[in-house]
Amino acid sequence: MKILFIILFLLACSENNEVILSPEQKQIENVQISTEPGPFTFNINVFYEVGAEPYAGTVNLGKNNTWDITKASMISLFQHIDGRKVTVPYELSEMKQISPQSKSTWTTNELVEVAEKIKTPMLQEFEIQTYVIYLKGTFNGNPEIIGLHLTGENYVFIFKDVIESVGGSPLQQKYVEQSTVVHELGHLVGLVNNGIKPVSNHEDQANPHHTIHKDCVMYHAVEKPGRILSILAAIIGRQELNLFGDEVISDISNH
Q: Of the listed pieces 65-73, 195-203, 221-229, 240-248, which binds Zn ion according to CB under 5 A?
A: 221-229
Counting contacts by CB under 5 A, is residue 203 touching Zn ion?
A: no
Q: Of the listed pieces 44-52, 54-62, 96-104, 222-230, which binds Zn ion according to CB under 5 A?
A: 222-230
Size of the site for Zn ion (CB under 5 A): 1
- Between 137 and 147, name the residue whose CB sits nearer to Zn ion: 147
- Between 87 and 193, name the residue whose CB sits nearer to Zn ion: 193
- Between 95 and 188, name the residue whose CB sits nearer to Zn ion: 188
- Between 68 and 223, name the residue whose CB sits nearer to Zn ion: 223
- Between 92 and 145, name the residue whose CB sits nearer to Zn ion: 145
One-letter identity of residue 23? P
Q: Of the listed pieces 25-33, 194-202, 223-231, 246-254, which binds Zn ion according to CB under 5 A?
A: 223-231
∠ at Cα 12 (6, 14), nearest 5°?
100
For CA atoms 191, 196, 200, 202, the dihedral sign is positive
- Between 153 and 223, name the residue whose CB sits nearer to Zn ion: 223
8 A C-beta contact, residue 112 and residue 20: no
Tell me the residue number closest to Zn ion, measured at CB. 223
DSSP H helix total and E strand total for the chain: 8, 11
- Minimum CB separation of residue 163 from Zn ion in Å reads 15
Q: Of the listed pieces 54-62, 79-87, 135-143, 220-228, which binds Zn ion according to CB under 5 A?
A: 220-228
Contacts of 33 (CB under 8 A, 6+ apart): 40, 122, 123, 128
> CB atoms < 10 A from the CB of 60, how many?
15
- Minimum CB separation of residue 223 from Zn ion in Å reads 5
Among 68, 153, 203, 223, binds Zn ion (CB under 5 A): 223
CA distance 200 to 203: 9
∠ at Cα 197 (253, 18), nearest 5°?
100
- Minimum CB separation of residue 43 from Zn ion in Å reads 22
Please provide the DSSP assignment of 128-154 as one string.
EEEEEEEESSEETTBTT--EEE-TT-S
Residues near Zn ion (CB under 5 A) are 223
